[in-house]
Amino acid sequence: MLELYHNDMSTCAQKVRLTLAEKGLDWEGHHMNLRAGDTRTPEYIKMNPGAVVPTLVDNGTIICESTVIIEYLDDAYPELSVRPKDPIERARMRDWTKQLDEGLHAAVGTISNGVAFRYQTMDGRSEEEVIAHINKIPQQAKRDRIMEVTLKGVEASYFEPAIRRWDKLFSDMEESLSENIWLTGDEYSLADIAYTPYLTRMDHVKFMGLFDNRPHIMDWYERIKARPNYAIGIGEWINEKYIPLMAEKGDEVWPRVKAILAA
């Protein structure tokens, strides 16, 4: 039996739910409240030392890290594979997913927290309680980043580099999608799945101006949203409490993002 420790709006959990839906796999969920700190308890950290979702448990075996999990699912349940057969396309797929793990995911965390999620973290907590909550993050670099971003929002030193990193990625993505239907070639793959939650996040924070001159990404995003796995893995899990906060705060900071991009 497949069990997934996840969260409704988490990008990494969305990746895994999209993969499970694409492959038609049944699973049982354990929903974690991230703002309440459900992933920072000693019991959960024993399962997932990074104190994050997702965690997959397959017949008692624990697997962490969303990229590892989605590749594992394709290895362990090879029917309806979502990895290209061609080794070159498969290498390209991994080049895309590796970039998320090596900075892009952290950068979207900076953007989401700096723009909107910080208000949820601070809601009902004193400053000391916010600091104590963030101090439970096990990794020092992440703790320092989330601390500054939560306390300073878009004024944090991490914000501008995060916008620039995603802008660069979107340039690469636009170029690739001008040559291929999907990110790695002719086949929809785990690379397309992996980036779907991040486009959705940009949409939710109203940063779609990033795609004004990137028609191939917009076309890809429309095709992505029309796939059945999008409704199952993302749409049905949308937390309606998050949407107005992300939209309102995102609109407020968009002029600043535009200024960063224009500089």
Ligand X SMILES: N[C@@H](CCC(=O)N[C@@H](CS)C(=O)NCC(=O)O)C(=O)O
With 0-12 / 13-18 / 19 or more C-beta atoms within 10 angstroms meaning exposed / middle / buried, residue 108 is buried
**Chosen residue from 4, 5, 11, 207 binding ligand X by CB under 6 A:** 11
34 binds ligand X (CB under 6 A): yes
Q: How far is the CB of 247 from ligand X (least distance, A)?
A: 19
Round to whole Å and give the CA distance between 7 and 53: 7
Segment interacting with ligand X (CB under 6 A) among 65-73, 160-168, 214-222, 252-260: 65-73
39 binds ligand X (CB under 6 A): yes
Which amino acid is it at 71?
Answer: E
- Is the omega angle on the peptide bond into residue 255 within 30 degrees of 0, that is, cis? no
Q: How far is the CB of 14 from ligand X (least distance, A)?
A: 8
The CB-nearest residue to ligand X is: 52
Segment interacting with ligand X (CB under 6 A) among 10-18, 178-186, 187-195, 242-250: 10-18
Segment interacting with ligand X (CB under 6 A) among 47-55, 149-157, 209-217, 232-240: 47-55
50 within 8 A of 139, measured Cβ to Cβ: yes
Q: How far is the CB of 7 from ligand X (least distance, A)?
A: 6
Q: How far is the CB of 163 from ligand X (least distance, A)?
A: 18
β-pairing verdict for 61-64 and 2-6? unpaired
90 versus 105: smaller Cβ distance to ligand X: 105
199 binds ligand X (CB under 6 A): no
> Measuring CA to CA, how many Å separate 251 from each of 8, 77, 173, 208, 209?
23, 42, 24, 10, 11
53 binds ligand X (CB under 6 A): yes
Q: How far is the CB of 134 from ligand X (least distance, A)?
A: 9
**Chosen residue from 3, 65, 86, 160 binding ligand X by CB under 6 A:** 65
> Which residues here bind ligand X, judged by CB under 6 A?
10-12, 34, 39, 51-54, 65-67, 101, 105, 137
